[in-house]
A and B are shown apart, each in its own frame.
Chain A
Amino acid sequence: MNIKTNDSEELWVCDDLSIVEEGIWVSSTQNEHLHFKCYFPLKIHADYIDKPFRLYLFKNQFYAENDIFQIFDMDEKVRMGWVFPLQALVSCEHSYIDNIHFLKYATKAMHLLLKDSNKLLDGPIRLPNVESTIHIDEIYKPDDIVLILSSDSVPKLEQFDINLYLPALYKYGYYRKCENAVFLNKYIKENYQQLNAKIKIRPLVNDTINLSYITTLYSESLIHEKHHLVRFLMLYQIVEMMMECVFKQELKKSLKGLGNLQGGDTVNYYKEREKLLAVTKDKYRLNILFEKVKISEILKTNFINETNNLLNKLGTDQENTAQSALYTLRNILLHGYSNFPKKYENMLLKVLFILEDLLIEMILTYKEK
């Protein structure tokens, strides 16, 4: 790692990192007098030092120092790693100071934060002078969140793609570290506050969804965009993508059905023709889509209720399914936004917040069959 001190023009290249029971030291093999102690008040457990791990930096507006969670893959039911505030590495006041499993990951996290500082930071580590102790919460941002994954638990760590997990993590308020102003919704806070010791996540597995768009959405667009109309349009693209998948599948089925018809089977011919015509309609595809995903009843009910509250104010008929509520909302915003009363913008925002949650469940549970 590269270190610069305020009282010298020199750039120190510290290539030796030693983690022993007595402490963590960074030094230089070129300059025997350069030794920087790293402040680490937790008990050192260096079991994982030589193992390959992955570390990512995230943010979460709702974090507290004590929010130290294990991350589990929901489907494999295996612990992938841990996620915790950087603050947890420099404090003995949280509840995990005696948790050996956490301490092993914490020590490894310190190791990676120091060793990979050239990659993780924008420049060299800055210290007041050569007598200074390295405080990890001063060279990184004190509100950084560490997500650390183990090669033992994630066997194909080398091919691991964190972007596949961004929607699942976003559900709890975690987003990739960025510097600009952030806009997050309060329902995420409610999701976050329900966490207890474990976060269960699953990756995006469907390769028909545009991963590049999803990554940008959950690491930049939704984090920064405040305007409700823009947010809705960005979110609705997810629905459009999935509906396109539905369209292709249903089209294939219909064409296959038509192809299987015997000559003169007029009744079935008209049935297949009707299906083919139906599949071109958004409403029909939306219904099919909702059959292919798993959304919790509570979430669907919340969405229907809040949408109906808004529809009531707008003098529009109530809806009784999530898909019809979504479709009506879409029509209002795409075709009738010019008449949308400003006084109901907060209500709309509330609906969109629930929609965010609903869409995450959709993209993570969508199955083609």
Chain B
Amino acid sequence: MVGRYKVNKISVLKDNRVNATNISVQLKVKKYVEVAKSILDNNPLQRRRVKQSSTVYALLREDIKKGCIIPPLVLALYEGSEPDINDITDDYLNGIISSRSKDLIILDGLQRTYTLLDVKKELEESGDEELLDFVINNDLRIELYIGLNRLGILYRMLTLNTGQTPMSLRHQIEILYSDYLKHPIDEITFITETDDTRATNLNEYKFSDVIEGFNSYLERNELPIDKLSLLDNIKGLEKLSVENQEVDLFRSFVLTYHAMVLKVKEVTGDWQYDAIANPLSGNPFGKTIESIFKKSQAFTGFGAAIGRLKDFRLIDGFESVGKAINDLSYDDNDAQIAINNLILKLDDIRNRSKKIGNSQRMFFQYFFRELFNKESDSYSKLVLSVENSYQKFLSQTF
């Protein structure tokens, strides 16, 4: 390793808030820009660059050429266990920066990184070797977090990026659970929008819909809310970290929902829509149990309903819901009537709502609350749940 381009450790501190080690290092700009592109290309958490023609970054470009010291960048090692403090040597740090660049994420300093890369490219293209040499041999400070878990990474990103619009909670959740795209939950697999397939099998779900549903559980709100304040986002993450202590909440959410779909399918005798027996004003919301309950509206209604029942202490958690699902039992006729009625109500909602999607979500939220609330008359009763939830929906909206 060429001594000139080594990473030099300055100090090591323990961040007790996020339970990780924070190491301050100094290195040459050349060392950093060598790995910066790899960091940017390989990390799904990185956001899009912003180029603004006449803002502070244009000024920064010029200042860098004059040898300014830019504020420390903050990086985190994605999926790294906390090292022993005695093992944190310059060589150890060099190894991380050089060979684990694809596991590094920029928590703060994304635009500064782009600016450094821009300056290097500009000077290479202009052929000004002297100035290029001057710039890349300037010193740069970096704070490196090692041992941060995913939640901690997101928390730090939020608190460090106070100058920018925060990432929505939904986006954060998506990133947090993106591992599940590669590793199924029991027999359940997730499909993304980039996959050229639809979630046709019973055990397949569209990842973004599940995320929306889980987000609704955390927010206790079935409506898609992306514009939250920084404080709301942090509170949302903290709520998740508290609940998530002993059990993987996301996993519980998915498995419970899937169990509900399977049970409803079973008790309705695998209901299918009959257009002649049940004419509607337009296409039905869904023609099978799966097509009804695999829609985002059902997911978010379910998530919000369970969240609220939990807040009202009417259920303990997903286990209580699991029990309620097991309690669902009918003769086929009743359950068929219930789903036919559900489709009819959704058709009516489509014709009278100013925002159909939101109205459908609200209706599903009331439906699942009726179905899983032990203190309600409709507990475990599909027919009554459909009827009572619809009346509640009408009273709240029209």
A-to-B contact residues, CB < 8 Å: 6-8, 10, 31, 33, 63-66, 85, 87, 91, 93-95, 128-131, 142-143
Q: Could you say which of B50, B51, B54, B357 contacts A93, with CB atoms under 8 Å apart?
A: B357
Q: Is B245 an interface residue (CB 8 A)?
A: no
Which A residues are CB-close (under 8 A) to B282? Answer: 66, 95
Q: In the complex the two chains form, what is the Cα distance from A85 to B351 in whole Å?
A: 13
Flag if A7 contacts B164 (CB, 8 Å). Answer: yes
Which A residues are CB-close (under 8 A) to B53? Answer: 10, 31
Flag if B164 contacts A95 (CB, 8 Å). Answer: no
Contact with A along B273-286 (1 / 0, CB 8 A): 00000000111000
Which B residues are CB-close (under 8 A) to A8? Answer: 52, 55
Flag if A66 contacts B351 (CB, 8 Å). Answer: yes
Name the residue on A nearest B227 (C-beta): A128
Flag if B165 contacts A64 (CB, 8 Å). Answer: no
User: Does more than half of chain B's interface fall in helix, strand or loop, or is it mixed?
Assistant: loop
Which B residues are CB-close (under 8 A) to A33? Answer: 49-51
Which A residues are CB-close (under 8 A) to B159? Answer: none
Given contacts A7-B164, A95-B281, A128-B165, contact A64 B52 (CB under 8 A): no
Flag if A131 contacts B50 (CB, 8 Å). Answer: yes
Name the residue on A nearest B163 (C-beta): A7
Flag if A63 contacts B50 (CB, 8 Å). Answer: no
Flag if A10 contacts B355 (CB, 8 Å). Answer: no
Flag if A95 contacts B350 (CB, 8 Å). Answer: yes
Q: In the complex the two chains form, what is the Cα distance from A63 to B351 in whole Å?
A: 10
Q: Smallest CB–CB gap between B354 and chain A, Å?
A: 6
Interface size for chain B: under 10, 10 to 19, 20 to 34, or 35 or more residues? 20 to 34
Flag if A64 contacts B283 (CB, 8 Å). Answer: no
Contact with A along B309-340 (1 / 0, CB 8 A): 00000000000000000000000000000000
Which A residues are CB-close (under 8 A) to B51? Answer: 31, 33
B-to-A contact residues, CB < 8 Å: 47-55, 164-165, 227, 281-283, 350-357, 360
Flag if B357 contacts A91 (CB, 8 Å). Answer: yes
Which B residues are CB-close (under 8 A) to A31? Answer: 51, 53
Which A residues are CB-close (under 8 A) to B48? Answer: 131
Flag if B50 contacts A130 (CB, 8 Å). Answer: yes
Q: Could you say which of A7, A10, A85, A93 contacts B360, with CB atoms under 8 Å apart?
A: A93
Q: Smallest CB–CB gap between B228 and chain A, Å?
A: 12
Given contacts A7-B165, A8-B55, A10-B54, contact A143 B354 (CB under 8 A): yes
Q: In the complex the two chains form, what is the Cα distance from A128 to B227 in whole Å?
A: 10
Flag if B354 contacts A87 (CB, 8 Å). Answer: yes
List, sorted by A's number, 16 A–B pairs whose CB atoms are closer than 8 Å.
A6-B165, A8-B55, A10-B52, A10-B53, A10-B55, A64-B351, A65-B354, A65-B356, A66-B353, A87-B354, A91-B356, A93-B350, A93-B360, A129-B50, A129-B164, A131-B47
Q: Could you say which of B47, B164, B227, B356 contacts A94, with CB atoms under 8 Å apart?
A: B356
Q: Could you say which of B47, B50, B52, B350 contacts A66, with CB atoms under 8 Å apart?
A: B350
Given contacts A8-B55, A31-B53, A131-B47, contact A87 B350 (CB under 8 A): no
Which A residues are CB-close (under 8 A) to B354? Answer: 63-65, 85, 87, 143
Flag if A66 contacts B164 (CB, 8 Å). Answer: no
**9 closest Cβ contacts across the A-B interface?**
A33-B51, A93-B356, A95-B282, A65-B356, A93-B357, A128-B165, A129-B165, A130-B50, A131-B48
Flag if A64 contacts B164 (CB, 8 Å). Answer: no
Which A residues are CB-close (under 8 A) to B281? Answer: 95
Flag if A87 contacts B355 (CB, 8 Å). Answer: yes
Which A residues are CB-close (under 8 A) to B49? Answer: 33
Name the residue on A nearest B350 (C-beta): A66
Flag if B353 contacts A65 (CB, 8 Å). Answer: yes
Q: In the complex the two chains form, what is the Cα distance from A95 to B352 in whole Å?
A: 12
Q: In the complex the two chains form, what is the Cα distance from A39 to B130 in whole Å?
A: 47
**Residue among A64, A85, A93 having the largest count of chain B Cβ atoms under 10 Å:** A93
List 9 additional A-B contacts (Cβ < 8 Å) besides A8-B55, A94-B350, A143-B354: A6-B165, A10-B54, A33-B49, A33-B51, A65-B350, A65-B354, A128-B165, A128-B227, A130-B50
Q: Smallest CB–CB gap between B166 and chain A, Å?
A: 10
Q: In the complex the two chains form, what is the Cα distance from A33 to B283 in whole Å?
A: 42
Which A residues are CB-close (under 8 A) to B357? Answer: 91, 93
Flag if A95 contacts B165 (CB, 8 Å). Answer: no
Name the residue on B nearest A135 (C-beta): B226
Q: Smallest CB–CB gap between A96 and chain B, Å?
A: 9
**Residue among B282, B352, B355, B357 having the largest count of chain A Cβ atoms under 10 Å:** B355
Given contacts A7-B165, A128-B165, contact A64 B50 (CB under 8 A): no
Name the residue on B nearest A138 (C-beta): B227
Which B residues are CB-close (under 8 A) to A143? Answer: 354
Q: In the complex the two chains form, what is the Cα distance from A94 to B360 in whole Å?
A: 12
Flag if B356 contacts A130 (CB, 8 Å). Answer: no
Q: In the complex the two chains form, what is the Cα distance from A172 to B372 in whole Å?
A: 43
Name the residue on B nearest A28 (C-beta): B53
Q: Smallest CB–CB gap between A11 and chain B, Å?
A: 11
Given contacts A10-B52, A129-B50, A131-B47, contact A66 B165 (CB under 8 A): no
Name the residue on A nearest B55 (C-beta): A8
Name the residue on A nearest B48 (C-beta): A131
Name the residue on B nearest A131 (C-beta): B48
Q: Smallest CB–CB gap between A10 and chain B, Å?
A: 7
Which B residues are CB-close (under 8 A) to A95? Answer: 281-283, 350
Q: In the complex the two chains form, what is the Cα distance from A65 to B353 in whole Å?
A: 6
Q: Smallest CB–CB gap between A8 and chain B, Å?
A: 6
Which B residues are CB-close (under 8 A) to A7? Answer: 164-165
Q: Smallest CB–CB gap between A67 and chain B, Å?
A: 9
Q: Smallest CB–CB gap between A85 and chain B, Å?
A: 7
Q: Smallest CB–CB gap between A195 and chain B, Å?
A: 12
Q: Smallest CB–CB gap between B383 and chain A, Å?
A: 25
